[in-house]
Structure formats: structure tokens, C-alpha cells
Amino acid sequence: IVLAGILLALLVSAISYTLLILNMRPGKEILLGIKRGEFHVEYQPLINSDTGHMYGLEALLRWTHPVAGRVPAEAFIQYAEVQNLIVPLTRHLFELVARDAAELKKALPCGLQLGLNLSPSHLSSPQFRQDITHWVAAMPPNHFAYVFEITERAMVANDHASEIFSWMHDNQFKIAIDDFGTGHSALIYLEKYRFDYLKIDRGFVQSIGRQTVTSPVLDAVIMLAKRLNLNTVAEGVETAEQAAWLMARGVTHLQGYLFSRPLTVTQLIAWHQQQKDL
């Protein structure tokens, strides 16, 4: 018992020590993590409301630290932004997705939309177009369509937004506005630029069925998207009730645990096979 106690104490102190290190030098740990291959990508299916079938995937970065374990994406993305490492980290994401692509291509239908999250600082960096061009060249040709998910913040704090968005559309990339309605509201930009998808934040979706009155903002966002001829993606759909509510109001695409959690490549291929067999 004493030995077990000592071991437990050692384990606990090792974990808190690593957490401390992680907090003290998150930048260094992220770079080491890239080098040591601690990152991988999970893919979450996106569902077309009309057909009920998968039409796309969102790639989500995962970090398993050798001692601290799974670090939440929100935390390490924020670390990376503060430490000026979001560009190298996103390049690593591109690399990992390109590595997964051969297997994904074998198992998944042609035309599938692959969505990646981009940080505002990457979007406004001078290497941005080159990074994207490099990545697409490393992907299998003519199989995937690409969607870049950006937040409203990226439009507000970017003098070249208009140029960048035009470049993206000229190259057949689609643009999704992520977490819509939560950050700096930038309604003016919805008229100024052309976007392809508006992603309704999970926070709004989760109020459906929980509160007696659903958010008037949610109603307004859906209506606004319709008037602007934008596709809508509701994220964080967890219950059939939420899905039915959203579909009844014409939300065109759905994403959430109700359909699938983010999956590793192997899990995703098994999930897709199972859907086909249904």
C-alpha cells in the first residue's frame, strides 16, 4: 500500500509537472509535439439535410501529449496563436491531412468537401496563398473540394480580406463563416463579400429544446442566411429534436454527435461503410 501510495504520488506530480511545463513553455512543447509526431487529425462528417447523407468532413487537429494526455483543441490552438506558432501548426495540419488523403480517397466518394479551420493571423500572413497552393498540390487531384472555415474576426482585422476571398473563389475554394453570431458581429461583411456557408454556432443549437423559447438570434440568423442565399451548417446537433427543428426551418446542412463524433481515418472509413450498408 505504501509503495502504491508513493507510485501514485509520483504519477500525480509527474502529470502536474508536465501541465506546469506546458503552461510555462507551450510554444516549445507544440514544436516538440510536431517533431515527435504527437498530433493527428480527426474528421467529423457533415450531413446534407435533404439526403441525410454525408457531403463533407471537417478536419480537427488533435494533440496527445506524452504525459499530459489529450490537450483540448481550444487550448492548444490558443497557445499556438499567442506564441506565433499557428502558421507552422497549420502547415503541419496540411501535412497530416495530405498523408491521410490516399486512404480517404480510396474509401470516400469523389466530390466530398473537406473543411479546414484557418486562423485569422494565417489568413493575413504573406505566405498564405503559397501554403494553400502547396497543400493542394500534395493532395490527390480531382477528388476533394476544399472549404476553408474562418471566423468573423478574420474579416474585421484584415485589410486584404477582399483580395484573399476573391483569390480563394478564383481557385474554386469555398469559404465558410465559422461560429457565426458569437464573436465580433460583422453583418456588413455578409453583403460585402460572397461566402458559401454560414456555420451556426453550437451554443445556439444547444438551446433548442432546452429553453422554452428558442433564441430569437437563432431564428434571425437562419432567416438572414436564407435571404442572402447562403447555405447553413448547424454545428453541435446532438438530438433528433434539434435536427428536426433545424430542418423544418430550412437549415441545409447538419453536423454533430447525433450523426458522428470526429473520427480517426480508420473509424471514419468503418462508419462510412456502415452507413452504406444500412
Q: Least distance from C-beta 211 to ligand C2E, angstroms?
A: 17
Contacts with ligand C2E in 214-243 (CB under 6 A)? 235-238
Q: Which does 60 bind (CB under 5 to 8 A by kind): ligand C2E, Ca ion, none?
A: ligand C2E
Q: 275: which residues sit within 8 A by CB, 6+ positions away?
A: 53, 54
Min dist. Cβ of residue 93 to ligand C2E (A): 5
Q: In the bound complex, what is the minimum distance in angstroms from residue 149's beta carbon to ligand C2E?
A: 6
C-alpha–C-alpha distance, residues 42 and 62, integer Å: 7
The DSSP symbol for 37 reads T
Residue number with CB closer to ligand C2E (14 or 37): 37
Question: Binding partner of residue 170 among ligand C2E, Ca ion, none, CB under 5 to 8 Å per kind?
Answer: none
Among residues 178, 221, 225, 230, the one that binds Ca ion under rule CB under 5 A: 178
Q: For ligand C2E, which residue of 30, 47, 85, 93 counts as binding (CB under 6 A)? A: 93
CB 181, min distance to ligand C2E, A = 12
Minimum CB distance to ligand C2E, residue 12 (Å): 25
DSSP code string of 60-98: EEEEEETTTEEEPHHHHHHHHHHTT-HHHHHHHHHHHHH
Identify which range of 5-13, 44-52, 116-124, 131-139 contacts Ca ion by CB under 5 A: 116-124
Q: Is residue 149 at the binding interface for Ca ion, with CB under 5 A as the rule? A: yes
Q: Count the helix, strand and coil residues of the chain and give each as a percent rounded to the nearest 5.
A: 50, 20, 30
Rule CB under 6 A: say whether 60 interacts with ligand C2E: yes
Q: Is 132 in the site for ligand C2E (CB under 6 A)?
A: no
Position 221: which residue type? V
Residue 93's binding partner among Ca ion, ligand C2E, none (Cβ under 5 to 8 angstroms by kind) is ligand C2E
Q: How far apart are CA 176 and CA 115, in angstroms?
A: 9
By CB under 5 A, residue 42 contacts Ca ion: no
Alpha-carbon distance of 89 to 265, in angstroms, equals 20
Q: Which residues does residue 58 pair with via DSSP β-bridges, in sequence order? A: 44, 115
87 touches ligand C2E (CB under 6 A) = no
CA pair distance 48, 55, nearest whole angstrom: 6
The neighbour count for residue 149, using CB atoms within 10 Å, is 20
Spatial CA neighbour of 177 closest among 140, 152, 201, 160: 152
The reply to whether 152 sits near ligand C2E by the rule CB under 6 A is no
With contact defined as beta carbons under 8 Å apart, do 70 and 87 qualify?
no
Binding residues (CB under 6 A) for ligand C2E: these are 44, 60-61, 72-74, 77, 93, 117-119, 178-179, 202, 235-238, 255-257, 262
Binding residues (CB under 5 A) for Ca ion: these are 117, 149, 178-179, 235
